[in-house]
Amino acid sequence: MAKPLRILHCFRSPVGGIFRHVRDLAEEQSKAGHEVGILCDSLTGGAHEDRLFDDIRPFLALGITRLPIRRRISLSDATTLWSSYKEIKSLQPDVLHGHGAKGGLLARVLGSALRVNRYRVARLYTAHGGSLHFARTSPQGLLVHSLERMLEFMTDGLIFICDFERRTYETKIGKPRTRAVMIYNGISDRDFRVIPTRSDSVHFVYIGMLRDLKGPDLFVDAFAKTERRVGRPLSALMIGDGPDKDKYRTMMVERGLGHRIGMLPAMRVQEAFAMSQNVVVPSRAESMPYIVLEALAAEKAVIASNVGGIPEALGADSKALAASGNADDLARVMTAAITEPDWRQRTMPETTSIRSRFSASVMAADTIQLYYNILELRGKN
């Protein structure tokens, strides 16, 4: 029997999809007998994230290490790297698994530093979109993509969470020069349960970070256009936190929508799903968003931009997909969802199909197998 591993997951912000991904991996890996820990930013997150940390804490034998990790590359990164190195060295991990651009930088640079000191550790990286969202021709994109290419020499394994991410990496950064595999994001069996809508539910709900990349402004525009299409007032909620929250609130008030689109802070996704039957995902860029998988597992109707790996979940020709960045097209789909009989039943994929392709247990098992494969190869070097 293979020996249990000491696994440390490194990422920046403990919010959104990356945090969900790491929590699922950590729980499944801990249940499989491994010792797991988290290293992440101390500057982001609030009461909601604190509750999520409390949920996962029993599965973290290596604990939770939080340090200030800035979003953008800065001189403060040197201090973060040194502090992280001391923390990581004391935990003696077998695996450093970085998630997102900053987490990937930490895991690979610090893992390489440990290996200089003859410490045997596997260095893995899952992008989760991250640096892949930058345009190839932008100055920041050129910098970040060049850095990603250089970091391949410090990488034992790349994990892509959907085929879109793999293809984008090859287009923007190049064909991987290290071991690379695709392992879909997965959700747990407890996510597969119908969540009925409340008696005071709204027509549409947006759940997620309040920043332009995720498209809350498109949601507001499309909502107003949907009202005009159906010829009557509708209702909606925006649930989440983020840097642009006040901007969207002002936008709604200026357009006379302040009484028909409510705003609530981040909450457990099951509570948010009870607010509406129709979940709108208007993102300008995504990889494989958990909110889509979670909503499908809860048997909600998903209306989404045709970006990232979303078509891999909904189907490439799904009538639930709207053109990216196009509020008119999003309104067209939103209108169909609330006016056409049995729209969800006709449009959404079968729950059994989602369960078979996007399973947390399969995701964790495949990831652990990759760790072992890498460590075995390293042992032969």
Q: Which CATH number belongs to the domain containing residue 104 in this structure?
A: 3.40.50.2000
Please report the pLDDT score of residue 1 as a whole number.
60
Residues 345 and 357: their CA atoms lie apart, in Å, by 19
- pLDDT of residue 379 exceeding 70: no
What the block records as the tokens of 114 is 């440990």
Place of tokens 């790491």: 22
Q: What is the pLDDT of residues 81-91, one digit of tens each?
A: 777 788 888 88
Q: What is the pLDDT of residues 106-152, one digit of tens each?
A: 899 988 988 877 788 999 999 988 788 888 888 888 888 999 999 99
162 and 14 within one domain: yes
Please report the pLDDT score of residue 129 as a whole number.
80
**For the CA atoms of 265, 100, 28, 274, what is the dihedral angle to 10 degrees?**
20
Please report the pLDDT score of residue 59 as a whole number.
98
181 and 194 within one domain: no
Residues 162 and 325: their CA atoms lie apart, in Å, by 21
228 and 182 within one domain: no
The model's confidence at residue 75, banded by pLDDT at 50, 70 and 90, is low
What the block records as the tokens of 168 is 């984008």
Kind of pairing between the strands at 321-322 and 301-305: parallel
First vs last Cα of the chain: how many Å apart? Answer: 22
343 and 221 within one domain: yes
Please, what is the angle between helix 139-151 and helix 100-116, to 10°?
A: 30
Let me know: does 251 contact 220? Beta carbons within 8 Å. Answer: yes
Residues 134 and 142: their CA atoms lie apart, in Å, by 8
56 and 12 within one domain: yes
Residues 41 and 11: their CA atoms lie apart, in Å, by 7
Residues 57 and 51: their CA atoms lie apart, in Å, by 10
214 and 98 within one domain: no
42 and 158 within one domain: yes
Is residue 33 a part of any domain in this protein? yes
263 and 143 within one domain: no
326 and 198 within one domain: yes
Residues 161 and 203: their CA atoms lie apart, in Å, by 31
Please report the pLDDT score of residue 89 as a whole number.
85
140 and 254 within one domain: no
Look at phi and psi of residue 189 and say left if phi exceeds 0, alpha if psi is from -120 to 50, else beta.
alpha
CB atoms within 10 A of CB 331: 23
Kind of pairing between the strands at 6-10 and 35-41: parallel
Kindly give, in sequence order, each residue whose CB lies less than 8 Å from that of residue 147, ignoring residues fewer than 6 positions away: 105, 131
Is residue 1 a part of any domain in this protein? no
Burial class (CB in 10 A: 0-12, 13-18, 19+), 381: exposed
Q: What domain count does the chain have?
A: 2
In order of 18, 168, 192, 209, the CA distances from 130 in angstroms are 10, 11, 28, 14
Is residue 101 a part of any domain in this protein? yes
320 and 177 within one domain: no
Is residue 95 a part of any domain in this protein? yes
Domain that includes residue 152, residue range: 6-186+359-380
Phi, psi of 183 (to 5 degrees): -130, 110
238 and 167 within one domain: no
- pLDDT of residue 77 exceeding 70: no
The secondary element (H helix, E strand) that includes residue 237 is: strand 236-239
Residues 192 and 211: their CA atoms lie apart, in Å, by 28
Q: What is the pLDDT of residues 94-110, one digit of tens each?
A: 999 999 988 998 899 98
